[in-house]
Amino acid sequence: MLKRSLATAALALAATAVFAHQGVQNPAVMARMHSMMGLDKDLKLMISMAKGEIAMDASAAQAAALRIQRGTPQISPLFQAPETDPKSEALPAIWDEFDTFTALARDLEKAAAKAAPTIQDRPTLAQATAYIGGACRACHKRYRQQNK
């Protein structure tokens, strides 16, 4: 189970290894990408710690999960206007289904809030990370261009 959670978390990391934000012209697109980068930084910290690449520190990991929780309310407002850029990976369906998009942002907020206090050691961190990463992927799968 632990192994599986770690594998899932590692996949989440691999899926976000390449960033589109270099060369973005539209500041509104840049702003939403920056917000994503902030979430990514904290998830990566949790992944590195779960994998043992950096020392386990439960309170630092909880703080990262709580920063993700606090960062999520800005997702919906940042994406509300249907802004585009040649470098954007956002799919047009976001603006046809903005309620669903917003609900997926809310799911991430709830996942991070639920997972944060469960983090005590590496196994519980691995589980929390996979749980939060799953909420990121649920939205990316539907609303972010893949393989770009």
Beta carbon nearer to ligand HEC, 68 or 124: 68
CB of 133 to ligand HEC, least distance (A): 7
39 vs 124 by CB, closer to ligand HEC: 39
Contacts with ligand HEC by CB under 6 A lie at 16, 19-21, 29, 32-33, 36-37, 39-40, 43, 68, 75, 88-90, 101, 104-105, 108, 132, 135-136, 139-140, 143-144
Query: CB pairs under 8 A, 24+ apart, for 59-63?
Result: 61/119, 61/125, 61/128, 62/116, 62/117, 62/119
| Smallest gap from residue 91 Cβ to ligand HEC (A) | 7
Using left for φ > 0, alpha for ψ between -120 and 50, and beta otherwise, residue 85 falls in beta
d(CA 92, CA 24): 18
Supply the Cα-derived Rg of the chain in whole angstroms: 15
| Closest distance of CB 100 from ligand HEC, Å | 9
User: 61 vs 104, which CB is nearer to ligand HEC?
Assistant: 104
**Number of neighbours of residue 31 by Cβ within 10 angstroms:** 14
Provide the minimum distance between the beta carbon of 68 and ligand HEC in the complex, in angstroms, as a whole number. Answer: 5
Whole-number Å distance between alpha carbons of 136 and 111: 10
